[in-house]
Chains A and B, each alone.
Chain A
């Protein structure tokens, strides 16, 4: 280890830590075969042979890295990063006094999301989450993975597993086949809202349309910048789609998409609404007002203004200090270190909100 790394290590151990909530952590099967025990036998062959939906023409092939993980998260004993609870404890939970961590299973970012095969796989994934993770560390919570493009199957899955209070939300990929304001998703929203479970829209997924409203990008650089587009489209669609009038208790968490884009979008929405209310009569209140009552953001990958303190100005423009949640995205390559995620000038009170109390309120954690 280098001298600098030693110093950082020592500093990290010395510092008295305030317990925190990490709202986006990923747990991964050690090998693909680990899930077989949770999947009906008749699907084993397809799962082993060809688990991914057939989609050509993606740009992710040019990603300048062999995988999506931090290089130091590969378990010494082998297996996929994120698959070793001991290492997760050492690198994240113990190290940073994580009092509660919310596991989002990333398999669904790549899996089929409708049909019997999808449902069987995803039900198995949820059972695996309970048995191999939630049962082994009481700091762990999770979101319910869903075959999101099949509303009936998704509702059935919520009814089946959400009786376990350690499931604190339901998971969507932010890219969906229809914009989230589409009525096909209403039964899922209703089931989530009825149980007080927020809908977590996490980066990833495939919608079938080009990745941007201006066509397919060429490079991974563009692809990664373009994630913002899906978040923007979902916010606009949810607000215009009469969703929050129907499900007043519904809360939406936008995960891993940044939030510096929000102030200008909110101003544009309000201005457009003033001019075009006749087209969207169902949207009876100012969009920014509704937005502030129903949306939350996780921090990672944290927006990095050229002047770091501008991040606080962005949050204040949004008027949403009480709706930003810290997330590390452990063990992914663009992980944010809790010690360095926020600008040094972040006021202590805001830090406390972002690192702990906002998440406690949203996920109804009792202290």
Chain B
């Protein structure tokens, strides 16, 4: 690929064990979690069952060595997500303590050790005041480029309850990154609990659709015109049908949401960015669906390392023109995150 640069907008690291976080926990919580044999928030095992081959990480979990050898050798910048299931805790102070510990661990163990790294800030969307504090604590560190928001949520992210968090994020130029997973105790579908992880995994993209229509319908993208929304790790081929449906419904519901002044698809193309992997489309139709996005601006290359979904990136890139390739491989992410790459130096 003859692109000047490459940004990987979707790399996952994980907290190896609770002990890893001990240096970042108060004595009170360290003792408490030891005494009640706490291992990790329930959302972690719920979103990424360790036995599932689709998310198997044994032997490939991100270490600094693997990051260097498998990711950073090919990219200028990598954005790390560290999902830790803090949205699955109902205890507001425990959730905040853990979110804060993960962020400080991210700084010490990852961001401080390689200048090519950026990260998503772990916050507790269900407890907005705590989330705002966390944004205030780290949000001016430019290595945190976005907030990590699991797709399964108590309420869709346009809801006004979240607005103080979005206000704090928008002031600092942070994007909202909605990512695969989440466990909040509500059923994952309007028809109640599914029977298997297979079913929940297959239906996950529609949770993202709730957030997109909510952020648009509630006027969040009008209120904070510079805000970017990143959709990570759940494909992109469902986006055209969502845009068509939203534009159609908007025609007949404008009077209910008068602040939505343009067709919803316009907000999507201006504000929403999706990472490329995994893509759910039969190979012969990749170009067709890419064209249905209606813009080369919306996709950002992501490897989704170390999740084993199979690689769909090469099939997509092979269908793109050189200009489109450079947009997907780095320009869109550089714009979204305000990253300045040294454009005169090829890698």
Complex-state Cα separation, A22 to B147, whole angstroms: 48
Report A359 CB to chain B, min CB distance, Å.
24
A252 contacts chain B at the CB level, 8 A cutoff: no
Complex-state Cα separation, A215 to B194, whole angstroms: 16
Instruction: Kindly supply a per-residue 1/0 record for chain A positions 179-210, scoring 1 wherever the CB is within 8 Å of any chain B CB and 0 otherwise.
Output: 11110000000000000000000000001111
A97 contacts chain B at the CB level, 8 A cutoff: no
Q: Which residue of B lies closest to A208 (CB)?
A: B192
Residues in chain A near residue B197, CB distance under 8 A: 276, 279
**A237 near B194: Cβ-Cβ < 8 Å:** yes
A289 contacts chain B at the CB level, 8 A cutoff: no
Instruction: Kindly supply a per-residue 1/0 record for chain B positions 180-199, scoring 1 wherever the CB is within 8 Å of any chain A CB and 0 otherwise.
Output: 00001011111111111111
Residues in chain A near residue B204, CB distance under 8 A: 213
A269 contacts chain B at the CB level, 8 A cutoff: yes
Q: Which residue of A lies closest to B158 (CB)?
A: A218
**A275 near B156: Cβ-Cβ < 8 Å:** no
Count residues of B near A (Cβ-Cβ below 8 Å): 76
**A233 near B191: Cβ-Cβ < 8 Å:** yes
**B202 near A265: Cβ-Cβ < 8 Å:** yes
A159 contacts chain B at the CB level, 8 A cutoff: no
**B54 near A305: Cβ-Cβ < 8 Å:** no
**B250 near A214: Cβ-Cβ < 8 Å:** no
A137 contacts chain B at the CB level, 8 A cutoff: no
B173 contacts chain A at the CB level, 8 A cutoff: no
**B203 near A236: Cβ-Cβ < 8 Å:** yes
**B238 near A215: Cβ-Cβ < 8 Å:** no
B324 contacts chain A at the CB level, 8 A cutoff: no
Residues in chain B near residue A216, CB distance under 8 A: 155-156
Complex-state Cα separation, A273 to B281, whole angstroms: 14
Complex-state Cα separation, A64 to B250, whole angstroms: 11
Complex-state Cα separation, A187 to B160, whole angstroms: 44
Q: A221-B257, A317-B285 are in contact. Are A260 and B237 (CB under 8 A)?
A: no
A75 contacts chain B at the CB level, 8 A cutoff: no
**B202 near A269: Cβ-Cβ < 8 Å:** yes
Q: Which residue of B lies closest to A317 (CB)?
A: B285
B214 contacts chain A at the CB level, 8 A cutoff: yes
Complex-state Cα separation, A299 to B265, whole angstroms: 22
Interface residues of B in 196-236 (CB under 8 A from A): 196-199, 201-211, 213-214, 217-218, 235
Q: A175-B191, A214-B151 are in contact. Are A224 and B253 (CB under 8 A)?
A: yes
**B54 near A275: Cβ-Cβ < 8 Å:** yes
**B158 near A225: Cβ-Cβ < 8 Å:** no
A177 contacts chain B at the CB level, 8 A cutoff: yes
B344 contacts chain A at the CB level, 8 A cutoff: no
Select the residue from B189, B204, B255 with max chain A CB neighbours within 10 A: B189
**B194 near A217: Cβ-Cβ < 8 Å:** no
A272 contacts chain B at the CB level, 8 A cutoff: yes
**A219 near B196: Cβ-Cβ < 8 Å:** no
* B256 touches which of A176, A179, A221 (Cβ 8 Å): A221
Interface residues of B in 148-165 (CB under 8 A from A): 151-159
Complex-state Cα separation, A173 to B60, whole angstroms: 45
Q: A222-B217, A271-B280 are in contact. Are A260 and B192 (CB under 8 A)?
A: no
B339 contacts chain A at the CB level, 8 A cutoff: no
Q: Which residue of B lies closest to A221 (CB)?
A: B253
Complex-state Cα separation, A225 to B176, whole angstroms: 22
A280 contacts chain B at the CB level, 8 A cutoff: yes
Q: Which residue of A lies closest to B308 (CB)?
A: A275
Select the residue from A225, A258, A313 with max chain B CB neighbours within 10 A: A225
* B214 touches which of A62, A218, A303 (Cβ 8 Å): A218
* B189 touches which of A179, A224, A304 (Cβ 8 Å): A179
Residues in chain B near residue A221, CB distance under 8 A: 213, 217, 246, 249-250, 253, 256-257, 260
**B202 near A219: Cβ-Cβ < 8 Å:** no
Select the residue from A269, A273, A276 with max chain B CB neighbours within 10 A: A276
Complex-state Cα separation, A306 to B241, whole angstroms: 10
**B213 near A263: Cβ-Cβ < 8 Å:** no
Q: Which residue of A lies closest to B292 (CB)?
A: A310
Residues in chain B near residue A306, CB distance under 8 A: 243-244, 247, 265, 292, 294
**B210 near A229: Cβ-Cβ < 8 Å:** yes
A212 contacts chain B at the CB level, 8 A cutoff: yes
* A267 touches which of B154, B155, B280 (Cβ 8 Å): B280
**A64 near B256: Cβ-Cβ < 8 Å:** yes
Report B301 CB to chain A, min CB distance, Å.
19
**A225 near B209: Cβ-Cβ < 8 Å:** yes
Residues in chain A near residue B210, CB distance under 8 A: 212-215, 217, 222, 226, 229
Instruction: Kindly supply a per-residue 1/0 record for chain A positions 19-52, scoring 1 wherever the CB is within 8 Å of any chain B CB and 0 otherwise.
Output: 0000000000000000000000000000000000
B288 contacts chain A at the CB level, 8 A cutoff: yes
B345 contacts chain A at the CB level, 8 A cutoff: no
Instruction: Kindly supply a per-residue 1/0 record for chain A positions 276-318, scoring 1 wherever the CB is within 8 Å of any chain B CB and 0 otherwise.
Output: 1011100100000000000000000101111100100110010
A338 contacts chain B at the CB level, 8 A cutoff: no
**B189 near A230: Cβ-Cβ < 8 Å:** yes
Q: Which residue of B lies closest to A229 (CB)?
A: B206
**A260 near B156: Cβ-Cβ < 8 Å:** no
Complex-state Cα separation, A226 to B217, whole angstroms: 12
Q: Which residue of B lies closest to A333 (CB)?
A: B252
* A313 touches which of B235, B249, B282, B288 (Cβ 8 Å): B288
Complex-state Cα separation, A274 to B53, whole angstroms: 10
**B156 near A272: Cβ-Cβ < 8 Å:** no
A-B contacts, 12 listed (Cβ < 8 Å): A64-B253, A213-B207, A218-B218, A219-B218, A222-B217, A225-B245, A229-B190, A229-B203, A237-B194, A264-B205, A264-B280, A279-B198
| A-B residue pairs, 9 tightest by C-beta | A260-B241, A233-B189, A215-B155, A214-B210, A268-B280, A212-B210, A267-B280, A209-B187, A264-B237
Q: Which residues of A contact B (CB under 8 A)?
A: 62-64, 175-182, 207-222, 224-226, 228-230, 232-234, 236-237, 240-241, 258, 260-261, 263-265, 267-269, 271-276, 278-280, 283, 301, 303-307, 310, 313-314, 317, 333-334
Q: Which residues of B contact A (CB under 8 A)?
A: 52-54, 151-159, 184, 186-199, 201-211, 213-214, 217-218, 235, 237-238, 240-250, 252-257, 260, 265, 278, 280-282, 285, 288-289, 292, 294, 308-310
